[in-house]
Every structure is written in structure tokens, then in C-alpha cells.
Chains A and B, each alone.
Chain A
Amino acid sequence: GQNIDQPTEMTATEGAIVQINCTYQTSGFNGLFWYQQHAGEAPTFLSYNVLDGLEEKGRFSSFLSRSKGYSYLLLKELQMKDSASYLCAPGSPDRGKLIFGQGTELSVKP
């Protein structure tokens, strides 16, 4: 089965750095995805990790430790537009379906 745990809500200040953690237990694994979803909109792809380590992509970075079943998404230089839900999603080895967590609702304050 799948068990994905991430904080429900987080609040941070514009210009700051925030780290959103995700722990998972899955019956299989094919990489870990992070998606961003603004209210009422479609989820959009942010990052993908299949090997251990840090992947950096502009203001966003994602880290994976497969042995610990742990990932985090790091957002730097926060902007108001970063207020959204961030979804941790281990990929299933069954050809690509995503298993989503509940998501972390991030509020960026001025």
C-alpha cells in the first residue's frame, strides 16, 4: 500500500526560504514528483527525483533519500505567487501513475 505524509499547512514570509517535507512508504517506487496546485487550477509539475540527492531548478530544489523514504521541496526567495498547495507524489512502478499525498497548503505573507 501507499502512505504519504506531509504537513497540512505552512506559513512563510515573502523573500524567505521554506522547506516542505514528505515521508512515504510505498509498495513500489519509481521516482518522486512534486507538483504545485493553485486553488481551482490544475496541478503543475515542479520536480522529479529518482536518485538520492538534491535537484536544483531555479528557486525550487528537491531532495530525495530513498533509504529513508524522505523527500523535501525547498523554495527560496518566496514570492506571493508561491502561495499554493504542494503535492508530494511517489511514482508507481506500474507505468507512471502518481500516488498523491494530501498536499501542503503554503501561505506566503508580505
Chain B
Amino acid sequence: EAGVTQFPSHSVIEKGQTVTLRCDPISGHDNLYWYRRVMGKEIKFLLHFVKESKQDESGMPNNRFLAERTGGTYSTLKVQPAELEDSGVYFCASSPDHYEQYFGPGTRLTVT
């Protein structure tokens, strides 16, 4: 069974540019989560989809971040415009229930 995949693995962009991160969850997992780890800090929750609906987006830092999950399959997280403080590792996780979450390898985003 394929795990959670994320693309790209690394992204380096300039401040003000736009970046879109993609997450493909494990097939059949209705729950999809986005998390972020900023350098030196703990992993923080961003938002949670159940199928295509946003269940909880309380962790989204501001309106420069937009997450979508059209069709309830893969999800994208767009940052527009990117700021320096957005640099970090963005993890996606999926789960068939509210128990074990399976994490992807993460996308390392560097904003210069």
C-alpha cells in the first residue's frame, strides 16, 4: 500500500512569490491534515479535511494560506504571497478515522 506522498520535497522561492504544495493521502482515507514545523519549534496543526470539507482550519496562520481538497482525494496548500516566516517543513497526514495518522515525508519550504 502506498503511503502519503507530498510534492515537491523541497521548494525555494523568493518573498512575494506563490508556492503550491501537494499532498496525496493514502487511498480511502477520508481525513487529511496539514501541519507545519518552523525551525526550532514544534509541529503545529494547520487544518483538517474530512473528504472535501474543511473540518477545522483553526491553525491556518492567515489568509495568505489557502487549502483545497477537491473531490476529496489529493489536497493542495497554496501560500500567496510567501513571506520569510513561512519557511519550514510542511507535513501532510491522513487517517481513516481519528486514531493513527500517517504522515508524509514533508515539503521543505525556504522563502528567501
Residue positions of B touching A, CB distance < 8 A: 4, 31, 33, 35, 41-45, 48, 50, 55-56, 58-59, 91, 95, 97-106
CB of A98 within 8 A of CB of B45, answer yes
- Enumerate 20 A-B pairs (CB-CB under 8 Å) in ascending A order: A33-B100, A35-B103, A42-B4, A42-B103, A44-B103, A87-B43, A91-B98, A95-B48, A95-B50, A95-B55, A95-B98, A96-B31, A96-B95, A96-B98, A97-B56, A98-B43, A100-B35, A100-B42, A102-B41, A103-B42
Contact, CB under 8 Å: B95 / A100: no
* Contact among B31, B45, B106 for A42, CB-based, below 8 A: B106
Q: Does A43 contact B (CB under 8 A)?
A: yes
Q: Is the CB of B102 within 8 A of A45?
A: yes
Majority secondary structure of chain A interface residues (helix, strand, loop or mixed): loop
Looking at A44, A95, A96, A98, the one whose CB has the most chain B CB atoms below 10 A away is A96
How many A-B pairs fall under 8 Å by CB? 57
The answer to whether A42 touches B105 (Cβ under 8 A) is yes
| Closest CB pairs A-B (n = 7) | A96-B98, A42-B103, A100-B43, A97-B45, A45-B100, A102-B42, A100-B42
Chain B contacts for A43, CB-based, 8 A? 43, 91, 103
Q: Determine the residue in chain A with the shortest Cβ distance to B89.
A: A40
Taking the nearest CB of chain A, how far is it from the CB of B44, in angstroms?
Answer: 7
Q: Is the CB of A48 within 8 A of B101?
A: no
A101 adjacent to B104 (CB under 8 Å): no
Question: Does A96 contact B101, Cβ atoms closer than 8 Å?
Answer: yes
Contact residues, A34-63 vs B (CB, 8 A): 35, 41-45, 48
Report if A94-B43 is in contact (Cβ < 8 Å); known contacts: A43-B103, A45-B100, A45-B102: no
